[in-house]
A and B are shown apart, each in its own frame.
Chain A
Amino acid sequence: MKQTDPHHPHENCLALFERLSEYIDRELDAPTCKDIETHIQACKPCQVCLKTLKQTVALCKHLERRQVPETFSLKLKSAIFDLVDKKAD
């Protein structure tokens, strides 16, 4: 975060901000995860940052999938039928 307070561990917030996705995806090594967890426990804004980003990812993962329109599905299979037919000749 861009902080104005020189006593706040601003660099830690910035370092964490850059790696949050890798942390969520468990793509970081154990010592780095530990550093992040220690920082997050003591930093409320970074907790909010992590939870809002996690929820964003979860929302993407659970987006509803639409059914294929039947008219299109039939058209697609008809186009493939023509190809299969041609290849069989």
Chain B
Amino acid sequence: MPNPSEKTKNNDKDTELVRAINNGRQDLFYELVNRYEKSLYNFGLRMCDTPSDAEDMVQDTFLNVFKYLEGFRHETKFRNWLYRVATSACLKKKRRSKYAPDRELSLDEFLPADESAVSADLPRWASQPLDQVLDGELAGVIRQALLNLPEKYRLVVVLRDVEGFTTQETAEILDLTPTNIKVRLHRARLFLRKALKSYYETD
């Protein structure tokens, strides 16, 4: 049972709105949809294979939130709970991915094979300011690399780096330990970095 200070800690811009909906103002549910449909749709685009699957995931998520909102006790922030519901909808929706079969990533696969493979020069994509390199091409490489990541790593890097959740929040959403989140996040980032390096070295 959380203590009252825990509940206060979870208060944010959604708290009053959720309370109003639960006190009978169901018409305000549209406001929650307006706040989060774009975030969830983009989360879906990163996690599902097709835009149509992303749409289904968003719809399933909001319908489940509508159904279970009465039981939400503000033991976490609403946004964390929403993404927990969305993650569950993603996993249910997801058929075996054509892009990213499940597999473990090990640190060893990201280490250079030998000293000659270690570059002392910073590549162009990493040496310039973000606004100069984040063109359509580079964004496309990152998007594809995300889709190629095995799902359990992709979920972590999307929640942490794309959606901006903290380690602790991501651990809550995925029901994992913070240590586990850190391990998966590091491997996911190394996977993405390898994809960027390979793309520009073979270009």
Q: Interface of A with B (CB < 8 Å)? A: 1-5, 8, 14, 17-18, 20-22, 25, 27, 44-45, 47-48, 51-69, 72-73, 75-77, 79-80, 83-84, 87-88
State whether B107 touches A17 (Cβ < 8 A): yes
State the CA gap A80–B60 with chains docked (Å): 11
Could you write out 28 A-B pairs with CB less than 8 Å apart? A1-B115, A3-B115, A5-B115, A8-B115, A18-B107, A21-B182, A22-B186, A45-B119, A48-B119, A51-B122, A52-B197, A53-B190, A55-B130, A56-B193, A59-B133, A60-B162, A60-B192, A61-B162, A66-B42, A72-B41, A75-B59, A76-B37, A77-B30, A80-B29, A80-B33, A84-B26, A84-B27, A84-B29
Say which size band chain B's interface belongs to: 35 or more
From A5, A8, A60, B161 is in contact (CB under 8 Å) with: A60
Residues of A contacting B111 in the complex (Cβ-Cβ under 8 angstroms)? 1-2, 14, 17
Identify whether the interface residues of B are mostly helix, strand, loop, or mixed: helix
State whether B162 touches A52 (Cβ < 8 A): no
Q: How far is the CB of A48 from chain B (nearest CB, A)?
A: 5
State the CA gap A75–B63 with chains docked (Å): 12
State whether B29 touches A52 (Cβ < 8 A): no
Q: How far is the CB of B92 from chain A (nearest CB, A)?
A: 17
